[in-house]
Structure formats: C-alpha cells, structure tokens
C-alpha cells in the first residue's frame, strides 16, 4: 500500500513539473516572439531605424523622407549580386596577358534586356530636336548624336552597303534592330537624357527620381552575360554555337563568309535568339556593345575585386594626369554579326576608340539597384 502511494505521489510530482516547464517554455517563447517583433518588425533590419514621434530634443532624422517607391525600369531586368571568375573561359594563348582570370564580386543592378533599338534612339533624337535645339544647336545634334548611317559603306571595302545606309535607321522595317553608328560619347549622352527624362516624369507625379541610367562597366557586363553560369564560354552555357537541332544560337559570322547561316545577313531584330538565364538577349552577337571602362592590357589585375572599373586618368580632362596625346580606347564586348565565334565568348576583350562609329557597335543601359533586395525581383 505504501509503495502504491509513493508511486502516486511521484507521478503527481512529475505532472506538476511538466506543467511548470510548459509555462516556462511558453513564457520564454512569448518573450522571444516579442523581441523578434521589436527587432525585425521595424523599418530597419534590427528595428533600429525610422524613429517615431516628434523631435522633442532627440535625434530622429529629417522628417518627410518616407515613401520612396522602388520600381523596376521598363525594359530592364534585375541582375542579382554575386561573385564570379572574370576573364577567359577557354584556352586563349593570344590573350593570356590581357585577360587574366580574377574572382570579383558584383553588386545588384538592372540592365536593359535588349540592345537599344533604332526606334528607342529615335525618341531621344526627336526630343533633342524639339526641346534642346536652342541649347545644343541643330548642327551639334546631327553631327554628334544622330547615328552615322554612312558606316554601312565606310566600314567595309568594296561592299554594296548603300541600301542599308539609306534605310537602316529611319525605315519602320528596322525599328526593332539595334542602333549602330553611335560613338561612346553619344551613348553616354543618351544615358544622361534618359535619366533626366524619367526623373522629370517621376517628380511630376510626386515620386523621388531613380538612380541614373548609365553604360554598364566591363565587369558588370561580363557577369550579366554569363547569366549566373560561372566560367561559361558563351551566354547560353555550353561550348557550342548551335543547339541540338542544329540552329544557330546567335547572330555572327560562322565559317568563312557564311553570314546568312544564322538567318540574317547583317544585324537582326533584338531578341531574335534565346535569352540567357538572367533574361538578357543578344549578349553574344548581333552588335558589340560599348561599356564604361577604358581599355588597358593590364587593367584586370590592377582593379579592385569589388565592382571593379578601370578609367585611365590620362583620358580624363578633369584629372591632373590628363594627357591629350593619349587617344581614349573604350572596351567593347559581345561580338557582332560580322565577327567569328571567338568574339562571342563571354571573356573576350577588345576595344575601339571612343569617337569611332561602326556598323557593328551599339549599346545598352544599366542602373544601380539601391538598397537591400526584397527577393521578389530575382
């Protein structure tokens, strides 16, 4: 009998202990929940930002700066931040000394999903002729910013380029083709105009302007071209220029003079081939693209490994080291309709002088992504 009573008391004691433990765990969990809400539920990551109430002699920040609406620019796709190995992705003995492999990190940004088209560039020219002719003058607009259509006959010897020269920029049939005959400086001015054009609209509806449109730097361009496939030879990932059905994956010059093998004799309408894994079209072929960087054979190992960019101080008129005898060379990337497959590789570097206009060089814009990603963009 005593043994049974002992067991009964012991069981009752264990039940009470479990009840007490449950209460302790509940209270501890509730405390953690409240602490988490206080830390994460605020405007900042740790709930430390966005103070409330009036100033009352305290440091609360400048009022009235809330409500910035972050939007994805039309025609652009978000490129997530990441780390990759910049440089040659295949054996390239000729470029070994100018294209070292280097691990770099790129911050998140937006990039045009296609190259700037004739029709998009025409919007820019039309606005200059309507709104800025009194400031810039018609001669400057037509000589510095209007596409040089004569490139179709100047760039290639003994070539019947007159029909393309006559129709490529202005005819509706070429509206969705990439604009060419635009030098590096004109592409920079286009980016500035595009920034101001959108900023003026956003101010008119009470919104804060977004970051500036600009040319991507060389590292950003290469990172975006690979589409998240580190060391990929081409933007589509595999080392071949045809898919399993034998179709060309880009607009370029396969073989010797077989320009039409990819379906187009010259450039193609943007987006005619498959996009890479970031949703970017024509990162190989169609037209080569201007980027921000100056070209130097030794720039890759000398730049920093976080958002690297190389600007030669000798080409900057505002820099004390400026040398007018140094002709600025700007990096071009991606290869074009007139290039062999080597120039389509994601790691191939080449250049052109910044004041050059070519029938095979265009551009696209990038924009820095501000703040922490919500995760839904990518």
In the chain, where are the structural domains located?
A: 77-368
Predicted local confidence at residue 376, as pLDDT: 55
Q: Cα–Cα distance between 109 and 86 in angstroms, integer?
A: 17
Give the Cβ contact number of residue 210 at 10 Å.
Answer: 21
Structure tokens at 316: 């900057």
Predicted local confidence at residue 227, as pLDDT: 95
Give the residues of the chain that fall short of pLDDT 50.
1-11, 13, 15, 20, 24, 28-30, 32-47, 50-51, 378
The strand order across the sheet containing 361-362 reads 350-353, 329-333, 288-294, 361-362
Predicted local confidence at residue 204, as pLDDT: 93
Categorise residue 294: left if φ over 0, alpha if ψ from -120 to 50, beta otherwise. Answer: beta
Contact call for residues 190 and 298 (beta carbons, < 8 A):
no
Distances (CA, A) of 240 to 101, 263, 267, 278: 22, 17, 21, 19
Residues 6+ away with beta carbon under 8 Å from 326? 312, 314, 315
Predicted local confidence at residue 83, as pLDDT: 94
Predicted local confidence at residue 21, as pLDDT: 55
Predicted local confidence at residue 88, as pLDDT: 81
Contact call for residues 354 and 185 (beta carbons, < 8 A):
yes
Structure tokens at 340: 């062999």
Predicted local confidence at residue 304, as pLDDT: 82
Angle between helices 118-131 and 184-204 (to 10 degrees): 70
Structure tokens at 53: 């109430």
Report the CATH architecture of 77-368: Alpha-Beta Complex (3.90)
Q: What is the pTM of this model?
A: 0.82
């Amino acid at each position: 009998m005593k043994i049974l009573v002992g067991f009964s008391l012991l069981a009752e004691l264990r039940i009470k202990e479990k009840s007490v433990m449950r209460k302790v765990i509940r209270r501890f969990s509730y405390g953690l929940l409240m602490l988490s809400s206080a830390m994460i539920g605020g405007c900042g990551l740790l709930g430390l930002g966005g103070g409330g109430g009036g100033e009352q002699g305290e440091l609360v920040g400048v009022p009235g700066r809330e409500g910035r609406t972050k939007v994805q620019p039309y025609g652009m796709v978000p490129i997530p931040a990441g780390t990759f190995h910049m440089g040659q992705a295949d054996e390239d003995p000729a470029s070994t000394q100018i294209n070292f492999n280097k691990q770099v990190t790129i911050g998140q940004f937006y990039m045009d999903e296609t190259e700037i088209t004739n029709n998009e560039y025409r919007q820019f020219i039309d606005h200059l002729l309507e709104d800025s002719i009194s400031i810039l003058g018609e001669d400057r607009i037509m000589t510095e910013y209007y596409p040089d259509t004569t490139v179709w006959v100047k760039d290639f010897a003994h070539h019947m380029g007159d029909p393309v020269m006559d129709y490529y920029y202005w005819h509706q049939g070429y509206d969705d083709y990439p604009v060419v005959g635009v030098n590096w400086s004109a592409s920079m001015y286009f980016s500035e105009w595009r920034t101001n054009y959108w900023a003026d609209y956003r101010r008119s509806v009470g919104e804060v302007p977004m970051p500036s449109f600009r040319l991507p730097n060389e590292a950003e361009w290469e990172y975006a071209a690979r589409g998240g496939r580190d060391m990929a030879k081409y933007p589509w990932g595999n080392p071949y220029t045809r898919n399993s059905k034998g179709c060309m994956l880009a607009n370029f010059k396969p073989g010797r003079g077989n320009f039409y093998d990819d379906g187009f004799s010259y450039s193609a309408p943007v987006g005619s081939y498959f996009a890479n894994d970031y949703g970017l079209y024509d990162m190989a072929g169609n037209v080569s693209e201007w980027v921000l960087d100056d070209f130097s054979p030794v720039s890759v190992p000398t730049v920093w490994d976080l958002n690297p960019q190389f600007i030669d101080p000798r080409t900057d008129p505002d820099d004390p080291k400026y040398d007018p005898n140094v002709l600025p060379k700007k990096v071009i990337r991606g290869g074009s309709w007139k290039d062999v497959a080597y120039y389509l590789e994601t790691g191939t570097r080449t250049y052109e002088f910044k004041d050059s206009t070519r029938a095979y060089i265009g551009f696209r814009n990038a924009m820095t992504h501000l703040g922490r990603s919500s995760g839904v963009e990518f």
